[in-house]
Structures are given as C-alpha cells and as structure tokens.
Chains A and B, each alone.
Chain A
Amino acid sequence: MLSRVADSLYWLGRYIERAENIARCIDVNLQLQLDLPGEERPWEPVIHTAGNPGDFFSRYGNASLENVLTYLTLDYQNQNSIISCVAAARENARCIREIISSEMWMVINRFHLKLSNPATKAKMLDNPHLFYTEVKEFSQLCIGVSDGTMNHDEGWHFARLGRLFERADQTSRILDVKYFILLPDPTMVGMTLDTVQWTALLKSVSAFEMFRKRYSLVTPQNVSEFLILNREFPRSLIFCLNQMEFSLKYITGQDHATGSKSIRKLGKLRSDLEFTTISEVIGGGLHEYLESYQTKLADLGMSISHNFFNGLS
C-alpha cells in the first residue's frame, strides 16, 4: 500500500474518532450543568481538552453557552472543533476515495455538507443534545460502514489503528483533565467525592452502564481502574492498546523489519499496563502516570509515522 494512502487512512480514523470524543465531552457537560447549576466555570475543562483557552477567550471574550458551543463545534479556526475534524477527515477521504468504499465516502461527505450548512448553528443551539447525538452516530456509522463494506486488509487496519490510537489518547486526556479539576490536590485522592461528577465522567465515554456491571461504588479509584485497566471495555486504555497491537501485527505481517520499532514500543506500553495495578498507579500519582503514558503514546505515534508513512526514498 502506498505510504501516502496509509497515512490518509490512519488520519481519517483519527479525525473521525476525535470528532466523536469532542461531542461526548460537550454533551456530558451539558447534562452535568442541568444537574449542577451554579458551577462557576463549567466549560473550562472541555475547552482545555478540545481547544485552547487562550485562543477562545481572546476571540470570544466570555464563556457563554453559545460562544462555547460555537467554538468547540463550528469554528474552523479551532483545529480541534468538530467541523475542523470532519473537514480534515473529508479531505483525507478525498485523497483516497478510490481506496475507501463509496458508502464510506458518502457518509463523510454528507455529514460535512450538513455541518457546513449555515442553518446548522441554529439547530445546534436549539437542541444541542440531539445535535451531539448525531455527531456520535456519525462516527459510529463510519465504523460500521467501513467494517461492513471495506476489505479488512492493510488499509482497513491502518484506519482502525488511527481510530484506536486517538481513542487511547482521548480517554486518557478526559480522565486526566477531570481528575485534575475534581481533585486538584493529590492528598485528597480517595476522600470525599462528588458522585454526580464522576458519573458524568463515565458517561462522557459511554462507560457508566458498563462500569455498573463491574462495580457497585462510583469511586475515583474504581473509575480510574475501569478506564485504564479493564480489558473488556472498548474505550479503556488497555483495550485500545491490545486492539492496536492486533492491527499493527496484521500490517507488518511476517515482515517485522519495516515496523519493528512501532511493534516494540507498542508492546512495551501495553505490557506496562498489563502488569500494573490501580493502587500502584494512584500511589505514584494518577496525573503523573497519565502524563508519562501520553508521552510514550506520542512517541509510538512518531514511530508509526516513521515506519510506514515517510516512504523509503
């Protein structure tokens, strides 16, 4: 497969997943505000995960609901807004239209047309929950359509690798930011907690119901364990890494030479999580743990790009 094509597929997967995660964050925060009116700066953590607070305040002034939703959703100048992600996904898809199925292309193109329609802003503000549900469904539809209409070959695995990489990154960020905001002081870990807030965190990654099947108490420790170390939950870090490994091994096949660096780094990162416990993680500081995890993940991303996308010239 052409390096350029593999690159586009990988980023196609990443951008669609990113759009979904932003929608999740926003949606849950909207719900949370209904439960906890009077929160002073309810949107800052979200702007922090899906944008840049400095950029936001310099251009918008105040964090009114309309401003925040516009910035995070429909602002082309914010590279991480939903519309920017969908536009970038579409641009990547356009470069490889002949590789992906026509159905896949149409799902992406149609959604982009919909977002760029001037009437969208009013609809979004009128019924935000419905709107963000549509964004999530768009991403889910992309996954379903690519699984059901594309050959599960190298290209499909590159798109899948990108999607899981992005998810492995986003889940850790959401956890990190929330944890930081909810418990700014490390000594407070394990003490009084706000069940509503932690429930919201779980919901933002569609984890609440699945969490309940495993744990009875919503504690920071349980939530962190579930989102980092649960092997069955499809958005947990370990799950994403396991599945990435599956795709990466498919891509390299018998030819370990081309991808050896990526395989090695991914394997190390995965086994690190594999053989750790949540008490160890929290004991050493959750934020510190996640920070080091994100650095390793970013390093893995560089290796993937170096191994497969730069092309041998």
Chain B
Amino acid sequence: MDFKNYKTEGFFDELFQSDGKARPGAMALVNRINELPPGELQRRQAAAEAAFLTNGITFAVYGDERGMDKIIPFDVIPRIVEAHDWERLERGLKQRTATLNLFLTDIYGGKKILRDKVIPESLIKTCAAYRPQCENFIPPKGIWAHITGTDLVRDTDGTFYVLEDNMRCPSGVSYVLQNRQILKRTFPQVFEHCSIRPVDEYSSKLRETLEFLAPDGLHNPRVAVLTPGIYNSAYYEHSFLSQQMGVELVTGNDLVVRDKKVYARTTKGLVGVDVIYRRIDDDFLDPQCFRPDSTLGVPGLMEAYKSGNVALANAPGCGVADDKAIYAFVPKIIKYYLNEDEILPNVPTFVCEDHKQMKHVLANISKMVVKAASESGGYGMLLGPHATEKEREEFKKKVEANPRNYIAQPMIALSRVLTIADGGFSGRHVDLRPYILQGKDIYVLPGGLTRVALRKNSVVVNSSQGGGCKDTWVIAPNDKAPEQGQARQWVQQQQQQQ
C-alpha cells in the first residue's frame, strides 16, 4: 500500500498537507510505512486487533449472556499533533478547566455570576445536572472537576475548537494507554526516530490527584474506584485504572456508611475509605440523597461526603458546567472570572432558550447540527445537511416544544486522518479528546483519544454509532527530552559511514 493515490479532498488532514506532502511530525511514520513490504501493514493491523481481544480490552454488548465482548474498532495509523499546536491546546485546556472550577464554586455558592447577569438564571434553574443538594458546599480542596475529557474538533483551516466539555466521568482514557502499548509494538522504529511524548504517567498522576483530596495529614489515604459493576460498558476501564493505580475497585455493595464514615467490607471486617473515584452518575450515587431506587450506590454516602469524611471525584453536581447550553457561555465565563480572552474558541453556538436564536436555528436547520443539551453519546442529535426533509420537520417540533433543551451549531468540516479502509488508504473524520486532571495543579495528558468515524463521509465518531479510535501522538518540542531519538539517529549515521 502506498500514499500515491491518497487525496485530502479539501479537508484538513492531520498527516498530510494539501499538496500531498507529509507534515513534519508525520514524516518518520510515512517513510516507515513506505518501507514495509506489501501486505505487512494489514498484517500488523490484524495483529493489533488480536491483541485487543486476548487482552480483553473490550466493551460489553448488552444482552449477550456469554460475555462475548466486542473490541472497539482500532486503526493502527495514528493521529499526530505537532508540538506548537499542542502547546496552545494545553494552555487553552488549563484556562478552561480552571475557569469552570471557579464557575462551579460560584454557582453553588454566592451565585455572583447570575446577579451580574452574565448567564441567565433560568438556564441554571432548568439545568438537569444542577444539584440543589450541593448548594453552599465546598468540596475538599475546593476542586469540583478532578478528571475531565474535553472534546475538540478541527476545521478546514486547521483551527481547533472546543466542541463539548465532559465533567461527568468521561471515559476512554484506558484506550489511550492501551492504544499506545499496541502501537509501540506495531511501529517500534518510528518511536525510535521521532520524539513522541509518553502517556504512561497518567495512572500515577491520577492517583496523586486523588490522594491530594484526602483529609490533611493523612498518610497513605485509602483510595477506591467505585464501579457500577461488570455489566457496565466501561467496566474494563474501571478495572484497568484501579489496577494501574494499585487501588481497590469496589461496587456499591462493597461499601457501607457508619456514623457518617465510609467503610469497605473486607475479609478482616470493615476498613475505612478516604477517597472515591466514582464512575457512577450523581443520580445513582446515594439512594438516600438522589434516586431512591438506585441499587448501585451507597446509602449515606452523601452525608459522609458533606461531613468531610470522604472525598468524591468528580464532585457531585459538577455536571452543570458541561451542560450544552451553558457551554455556549464559556467564553463569557472566562472573561468574567479571569478577565482574559479564551485561548481555545467554542464552535459558534445558538442557544434555543433565546427566542431570537431559536428562530434563526429553525430557519436555517438544513445547515446546522442540532443537539439535545442533556444528552451525550451522539444521541438526540440532528445533522441538518444529512437529514431528510421529514426528519428536519420532526426535529423542529421537538425544539419548539422544549427550546431549553436544544442548541445548534454550524456543520464543521471535521479534519481527517488517513485510515486503512476498502483495501487501501482513505481519509476519515476525527475528533480529539484530551484528558485533564485537576489536583494540586492542572495536568494535561500529552495525548488523548482520537475517535474516528469509520464510515466514509460520516462525522459521527461515537463508538455507539460506528466510531473507532486511533492512537494520538503528541510530538515533543525540539528543546525537550527527545534529543535521545536524534542522538540515536546520529549514531546510526556514523555507523553507516564507517
């Protein structure tokens, strides 16, 4: 297979320039692939898929009693982010994360931002993720969203935009770590020759972030990951992260609250727990505080939390900051708290709550992407240009019936990455989800999950809708660590000359 017939077709391609030349960061990879004997790349693709299956890096298929899990489709051609692009992304993500934390503190506390009329109060009142139970509460160390995954997209001219904030247990980071393990086996030579920033430190950073939340002065705090259980589609990730961090994975039934303290049931009796990385939604966390029918949670957990005896990550209630309607106000929120302009722009967004904007959306629906503010995973969405007239008319009615629940954005021509398809190479649309940890300071994992829409021309990247993933390589800046790679190159050159 070669790249001769590969065309970028007017889209921004992450590996190739519009003139067909490889971008600087992709040079080593493209050269390596060109050197491979025919059929070798497909063989490596097959080996990578087999590795996913035997490793059990899978997601559950609901309703299949024999546990025949499916692997997420994976493409061995990575997405590459140049050092200068990453530097800007990192600054932008830190700015956004810090701001949303200020916002959460304010919105559950003094509500100054509402009094100053930066955001309409009605938007908060009607937000499905707003938790009145958390009012006037400050979480341990004042941090709300400890783990976030922000979805970014890139337009035809290469500009990065924030598409969505995810503050409610975003998943996928286990794929980032596993994809890398597999690509290191697939293209070892390329890793030697270019300076790809490692992602392995994530689990240590995550554990540090969680331990930081424990009550002051506590040595060796006991940290646990709380999972809904093996039938949850992200169970693999929960178990992987707890294994990599070396902390216990617990289900709701393993925990019990006594005298406002949380304990785990062990072979030696009850043992205290100090920090919980919960992968259960707010609603199911504690039947005494939220949904009374939840069997996944721990009765009394919120009381223990509010008494300061246990830390929860992410803090209950932080979903208000990733509501899609509130998202539209984030640039204003940044200006309000930091008096700075946003480093990473939003995709222009129309909030249907505003009557004028709704009128505009309805009139131009064939050019827009309309999304339900409270949904995720690619559900509850209309892609105007791809929809039929009937679908559009039906969607218009939904918007008019409940404007608060809808936002609309112009259709972005998502960037593409070369992907193995149809016996050759073909461009496929991608997005990017970097992971951000907020503890003592804010850390952005140099990498992320590149989701790819495997169907030709599709722009829906969600795994529930036929999406797959790719490894994401962030190239190190020239002045940092990777001289090693260059040094090795130099040694090889010397050897060849001799």
A residues at B contact (CB < 8 Å) = 1-6, 76, 87, 90-91, 94-99, 102, 105-106, 109-110, 113, 116, 154, 158, 251, 255, 258, 308-309, 311-313
Contacts and interface: CB of A to CB of B under 8 A. Distances in A.
Contacts of B270: 312
B125 interface: no
B240 A6 contact: no
Given A3-B267, A311-B266, A94 B67 contact: yes
B268 interface: yes
A interface SS class: helix
B253 A4 contact: yes
| Central interface residue in B240, B249, B268, by most chain A CB within 10 Å | B268
Interface residues of B, number: 28
Which of A5, A308, A309 gathers most chain B CB within 10 Å? A5
Nearest to B265: A311
Contact of A105 (B56, B249, B254, B266): B56
Nearest to B68: A116
Interface string B18-61: 00000000000000000000000000000000000111100000
B239 A98 contact: yes
B250 A258 contact: no
A3 B265 contact: yes
A251 B66 contact: no
Interface of B: 53-56, 66-68, 230, 235-236, 239-240, 242-243, 248-251, 253-254, 256, 264-270
A267 B107 CA distance: 63
A96 B251 CA distance: 11
A106 B240 contact: no
A96 B240 CA distance: 10
Contacts of B266: 1-3, 311
Given A1-B266, A2-B248, A110-B54, A90 B242 contact: no
Given A98-B239, A109-B54, A258 B66 contact: no
A313 B265 contact: yes
Nearest to B247: A98
A87 B66 contact: yes
Contacts of B230: 91, 94-95
For B56, B66, B68, B251, which residue has the most chain A Cβ atoms within 10 angstroms? B56
Nearest to A76: B66
Given A258-B267, A258-B269, A311-B266, A4 B56 contact: no
Contacts of A158: 267
A49 B99 CA distance: 66
10 contacts: A1-B268, A2-B250, A2-B266, A97-B56, A98-B243, A102-B55, A109-B54, A109-B55, A309-B267, A312-B265
